[in-house]
Structure 1
Amino acid sequence: MKSSKMLIFLVLMLVTTSILAACSNKEEVGGKGKLETLTILYPGDESDRMTEFLEKEFSEKMAADLGLKLKVIFVPWSQYWEQKDIMLAANEPIDLYWDGLPDLSTIVNKKQSMPLDDLIKQYGQDMLKVLPMEQFQGAVIDGKIHGIPSAYAPSSAMYQLVAVRQDILEAVGMNEIKTAEDLKDFATKAKKQFPEMKGPADIVFKPLTRYFTEEQYNFIAVEDLIVFGEDSKKAHSYYESEAFQKVAKFNRSMYDAGLYSEDLTIKYNERDSRMQTGLYLWVEGSLGKELEIIDAIKANAPDARVKTYLLAPEKPRYITATGGEVLGVPVTAPNPEGAIKFVNWIYKSKENYQLALYGVEGKDYEIVDGRIKKLTANEFFYEWMFRNQNYQLFGPDVAQESIDHYKTWDDEAVTSASLGFRFNNEKVKLIETALKEVAGKDLAAIRSGFVDFETEYPKAIKKLKAAGIDEYVAEIQRQLDEFLASK
């Protein structure tokens, strides 16, 4: 009898303990005790408002909606790519990071990005409602999706535009920019009339390449080594092209005239930061670039206006990439599921999108007549990193004509035959490493006009040849021919 009572007592105790444990787990999740950590590597500097946002409003939303605790590691722009490689090589616990889509094959071969097909199928269905599968075409290698293109918006002539301080352009008696000579004329006049300005923030070599080349080019390899000729359908060594030589000579003339500073070469990756100080004349643009940077510029130059121009506007515009950047999930990511859940959550609704990109409505921004009025600076997740034309908002100062122009930008564009091509560098990795060294140490300075072209260019090309550029071009051409034949 005592044994039966004891058995019943033990069973009741076990059941009670299980119930209490279950309740305890639920309480811990509700109290953020059991949240999964999601670690994001992120370029740029962390603002005070972003810190507060991540710790309070956004933290609460991530816990409630996804059961995630977000950890964002900020790395200054000037150090980002180097630190990214170091951290991922050391298998540090990174779940999500941003990089350039043209470097995807290198990223994949370094094991820095895992295939995402199954994860997207399981956790990314909301994302696919506003980010069409065609958008992922540029992130496919060997039939597998290895990244999430980080913008869905008009994209023809990507990286071929120039964002210009329109207020200063008009103040020096000019109305528009169409040519390289216009840029030089603008810089010359601005230097004389506005001596407090520091000149261009960027050498804009890709817009200049568009202007100087007869055949339009699409850059298809790391360090801008190789271009795809839109007419010839061939791969070309960019640094050996006539267009590059014209770009380098033009930029040298800018240095000789005292219009470029050495920072444009030595601190090339800080060009956007320079522009946002309000003390510079132009920076490489993309469609809508002025919308991204105008608030930061106005914080330092309240009367500033920025307008984006396409050099040689009469030449065709090609759609060459489904987004210029990519979000990657490392092979060693501790929480790859959380990474896709996070991106999916942003695109799930306009409310989520606006919270992540613009902050808290009523505190950080207001929506008035369908336009967004920002009450704080651009201190949240970069709008350009997650831009989606289904949710995109425009500020009250943007003319409706500009919005209409933006939305119809791709209507007359031509789709590049190279769209979706991703070079696999597996067979020429050593050659590519050697070529990157020459490009970084020798040709970058020539490209920006920092050194004398006539004496230094022949030396650099000799090094490029010795490093194996011809074999590298041949391998890209082989893969390119296979890709074009399969279309």
Structure 2
Amino acid sequence: MRKWMNVVITSLLVTSIAAGCSEKKPATNTGASASPGGATTSKPAEKTAFTMARGTLQIKGVEVSPDINKDKGLLELEKRTNVDVNINLLPHAEFKQKVSLMFASNDIPDVLVAYQSMTPASKDMRGAVDNKMFMPLDDALNKYGQNLLKVIPKAAWDEVKLDGKIYAIPQYLSVPSRRATFIRADLLEKAGLKAPKTIDEMLNVLRAFKKLGVEQPFAFRENFKYADSILGAYDVLPYSTMYEKQGDQVVPKFFDSENMMKALNVYKTMYDEGLMAKDFATQTAAMWTKTRDSGKAGMWNFNAAGLVTSQIELNKVDPNGKVDLIPSVIGPDNKGGMMIYGSTLEMAYLNSKLDPKKVEGIIKFFDYMVSDAGNEFFSFGIEGETYKKEGGKIVYEKPKDEQAIYAEDRLRWLQVINDGAYNKLKIPFEPKGNELLKAFQDILPKEGRGGYTFDPELSTYSKFPDLAPKFDEPAKLITDHMIKMIYGKEPISDWPKVIEEWKTKGGNEIIKEATDRVNKNSGARPGPGSNG
């Protein structure tokens, strides 16, 4: 977290957030009243008025809104749930900074929608939870959140617990293996080959693509991001959630020297034969996206939900081009895939100072989001305006007008609690929707690699930043050696020396902390492949 050095700027930011969180639209007072004859006239229940702070998530439709609180979708949602919510938008890039200032000033909104990984045990939230800024929700959920308890998986609830109590309502992932392998099916057909299942078959496909003139048979991105199905095939993904038990220690998966060297040899073969970009180590996200969308890539890894966009962009330059999702290549254990995510994305915390009546209204507000009626509303909008029903079936066409597209994006964003993996109702209406649905139901659930996840993250990472991996990127020391070996500047056979270097530069302390936390069951969650 970047520290604010200027006191004046800090004060201004705190004031800005306080104003944003405290401003409320007036609640409608519709309690019972006496009629002229003395009888009591029943009126609609009073609306639940509350404030909610949430990040924009870089969703353009949200960021271009002149006033999210006057958005038509929000006004309709308020009507359906009998609430009056005032949303304070927090810029995506500044989200954690803004939240930290909220905590420092003790000016907490009624609802804080925190970002992925900001669990009650995380370093971002633990202090606030321990200081009782947010309330446990178990009793309120049992009373008013039956849809939430029914729909959200146990694994997701477990991630938002601290000391056995639920402190947030999570957006969840029904399929935690989100990343997939993409391939140009038209090029595969032209080459007369089938989709590759093994590493050797993949290399043969890439060689065929090169003969067809494909500029980057395998599209590679810096830091091995979206280029890691090969590491996954050998189960040596070098990320923060990829720890396993080896003997009496808990160590990173890249300690498996034999399989790590096999994976590096595959990358080096691809580099030597021109099957990936020569400047792979500096391929930025923008460069990678341009290569993919301009039809210059044959295979790549990406979030499965990106299939629709990939197909649309490809057809702009090649009307006959076709993108498919295929199972990721398998390794020696006949398994493959990329990292398995946690079970949660965003999560909603409730201010501990809320009165019981307001808690009831807020829980019911979120409960509506995962109901059948709620899912239909957030997916398609208002019946008779943005979709209709014929014979009980939904008739819907995706909007083409920019403003209508933005409105639809905002509506989806407003569904704070939902399945973040995919929209089961809407996906059949998307281009390639049936293929995407098949991927989420038949391909992704059968692949993916996991390990121990630490929440909060290992404290020794802050002491040795060059040894600390990110969620989906290797540590700097590891990345540097991997790149040098692929370029041929270091022998791949020296990988055991890399492990020793990592250990002597602070890795032994990281291993000790990881092992202690697993043994004490202290914020260490075993995943598939952890040997735990």
- Matches of 1:467 and 1:359, distance apart in 2: 55
Q: Which residue of 2 aligns with 1:479?
A: 517
Partner amino acid for 1:304?
Answer: K
TM-score normalised over the length of structure 1: 0.66
- Matches of 1:366 and 1:299, distance apart in 2: 31
Q: What aligned pairs does 1:12-27 form with structure 2 within 5 A after superposition? A: 26=28
1:427-459 deviation per Cα after TM superposition (whole angstroms, max 9, x unaligned) = 645446453279543323545677656279768
More helix by share: 1
Q: Which residue of 2 aligns with 1:395?
A: 429
- Matches of 1:447 and 1:325, distance apart in 2: 31
- Once the two structures are TM-superposed, the CA of residue 46 in structure 1 deviates from its matched residue by 0.5
* Cα root mean square deviation, aligned: 5.4
Partner amino acid for 1:352?
Answer: G
SS at match of 1:386: coil
- Matches of 1:463 and 1:339, distance apart in 2: 52
1:436 to 2:450 alignment: no
- Matches of 1:103 and 1:266, distance apart in 2: 36
**1:110–1:226 CA distance, 2 compared to 1 (3 A):** farther
- Matches of 1:169 and 1:103, distance apart in 2: 47
1:346 to 2:357 alignment: no
1:171 to 2:190 alignment: yes
1:68 to 2:91 alignment: no
Partner amino acid for 2:84?
Answer: G
- Matches of 1:293 and 1:37, distance apart in 2: 38
- Matches of 1:189 and 1:451, distance apart in 2: 23
Q: Which residue of 2 aligns with 1:247?
A: 263
1:99 to 2:136 alignment: no
Contact map agreement 1:164 1:282 (CA 8 A) in 2:
yes
SS at match of 1:136: helix
Partner amino acid for 1:435?
Answer: L
- Matches of 1:123 and 1:370, distance apart in 2: 29
Partner amino acid for 2:323?
Answer: R
1:236 to 2:272 alignment: no
- Matches of 1:206 and 1:133, distance apart in 2: 29
Q: Which residue of 2 aligns with 1:133?
A: 154
1:17-62 deviation per Cα after TM superposition (whole angstroms, max 9, x unaligned) = xxxxxxx85289x9xx996442321333414897489553222124
- Matches of 2:61 and 2:165, distance apart in 1: 37
Mark the runs of 5 or more structure 1 residues left unpaired by the alignment.
Answer: 1-23
SS at match of 1:150: strand
1:293-336 deviation per Cα after TM superposition (whole angstroms, max 9, x unaligned) = 65566567654332132221872589996855421357999999
Mark the runs of 5 or more structure 2 residues left unpaired by the alignment.
Answer: 1-25, 31-43, 527-531
- Once the two structures are TM-superposed, the CA of residue 238 in structure 1 deviates from its matched residue by 3.0
Partner amino acid for 1:305?
Answer: V
**1:255–1:91 CA distance, 2 compared to 1 (3 A):** farther
Q: What aligned pairs does 1:236-385 form with structure 2 within 5 A after superposition? A: 236-242=251-257, 243-258=259-274, 259-260=276-277, 262=279, 265=282, 267=284, 275=292, 280-285=297-302, 290=307, 294=311, 303-312=321-330, 315-316=334-335, 323-329=342-348, 343-349=366-372, 351-357=373-379, 373-376=397-400, 379-380=409-410, 381=412
Contact map agreement 2:310 2:323 (CA 8 A) in 1:
no
- Matches of 1:147 and 1:304, distance apart in 2: 42
- Matches of 2:120 and 2:467, distance apart in 1: 14
1:454 to 2:490 alignment: yes
Q: Which residue of 2 aligns with 1:193?
A: 212
- Once the two structures are TM-superposed, the CA of residue 131 in structure 1 deviates from its matched residue by 1.4
Identity of aligned residues (%): 12
- Once the two structures are TM-superposed, the CA of residue 176 in structure 1 deviates from its matched residue by 0.4
TM-score normalised over the length of structure 2: 0.62
**1:408–1:175 CA distance, 2 compared to 1 (3 A):** closer
- Once the two structures are TM-superposed, the CA of residue 68 in structure 1 deviates from its matched residue by 1.3
Partner amino acid for 2:369?
Answer: I
Aligned residues: 444
